[in-house]
Amino acid sequence: MPDNNKIVVAIDGYSSCGKSTIAKALAKAVGYKYVDTGAMYRCVALYVLRNAPFSLQQGVDEAWLQDRLAGIHISFALQPDGSQHTLLNNEDVEKQIRTLEVGNAASQISTIGFVRRAMVAQQQAMGADKGLVMDGRDIGTVVFPHAELKLFLTASPEIRAQRRFDELVGKGEKPDFNEVLADVRDRDYRDTHRTESPLRQAEDAVLIDNSHLTPEQQLAEVLTIFNNRLNSPAANN
Ligand code: DC
């Protein structure tokens, strides 16, 4: 049963602009569920990379993938420290899905219409009871076009590349900054130019440029917007 006091918060934006950081922080602060939809596309990509020939230019054999899609089960498991891990057919793949290779494959595979439709149906089911913060590329435009609160995040490509670079270094990888920047730009291009549900700001989304905001400043701003929305009469329509 949907809880009428709760809302759906849709967060969209470019890659590496901190969507999941703010989405997780907001969900924690207000006691909502959090769903990282990028992780779902990454799981499909990891499955493909493990089981089929794949290249960024050629993609994957779509007939092969269509046959197997029903056998790709994605779920989320809450960890004792409060974090969430992504499971692919019950295997914890949280670490494996966060590489550049899987991110690039996910960006390619997420252009396939039947993959998107399958993911969107699962995402909509997760939001049926409200009380949800979901982040991705098409949450405010396709998954929950009637979400009570929509945020669209952005930051400059250089700042996003630096964040991604630092994250990869933190994981023990040795990235090249220019490659990471080129990758950010390529991914932006693919995400905004694909035919199926391209990334775009919903008309009623609040734009937040976090290039020069600390995570704490951003959370404070988002909580103010959230509370205003919750207290506005239109929120529970
Ligand atoms: O947010 P992310 O980097 O984990 O997402 C990985 C890829 O998945 C990204 O290139 C675009 C795609 N994606 C999408 O098309 N739609 C979503 N709702 C979420 C992610």
3-state secondary structure of 153: strand
Taking CA atoms only, the protein residue closest to ligand 1 atom 18 is 136
The predicted pLDDT at position 15 comes to 86
Taking CA atoms only, the protein residue closest to ligand 1 atom 11 is 107
Domain annotation for the chain: domains and CATH numbers: 8-236 (3.40.50.300)
The predicted pLDDT at position 82 comes to 85
The response to whether residue 20 sits with its C-beta less than 6 Å from ligand 1 reads no
**How far are the Cα atoms of 108, 117, 182, 216 from residue 101, in angstroms, in the given order?**
11, 23, 14, 30
pLDDT band of residue 233 (cuts 50, 70, 90) is: low
Cα(110) to ligand 1 centroid in Å equals: 7
- Mean pLDDT throughout 64-92? 95
pLDDT band of residue 190 (cuts 50, 70, 90) is: confident
**How far are the Cα atoms of 26, 134, 199 from residue 194, in angstroms, in the given order?**
29, 21, 8
The response to whether residue 86 sits with its C-beta less than 6 Å from ligand 1 reads no
Tokens 């990888």 sit on residue:
173
- Mean pLDDT throughout 129-152? 97
The response to whether residue 183 sits with its C-beta less than 6 Å from ligand 1 reads no
Tell me how crowded residue 8 is: count the other CB atoms within 10 A of its CB. 24
Q: Does the pLDDT of residue 210 top 80, yes or no?
A: yes
Q: Which residue has the higher pLDDT, 168 or 89?
A: 89
Residues contacting 161, CB < 8 A, separation 6+: 16, 177, 180, 181, 183, 184
Cα(103) to ligand 1 centroid in Å equals: 8
The predicted pLDDT at position 237 comes to 46
Q: Are strands 84-88 and 74-78 parallel, antiparallel or unpaired?
A: antiparallel
Taking CA atoms only, the protein residue closest to ligand 1 atom 16 is 137
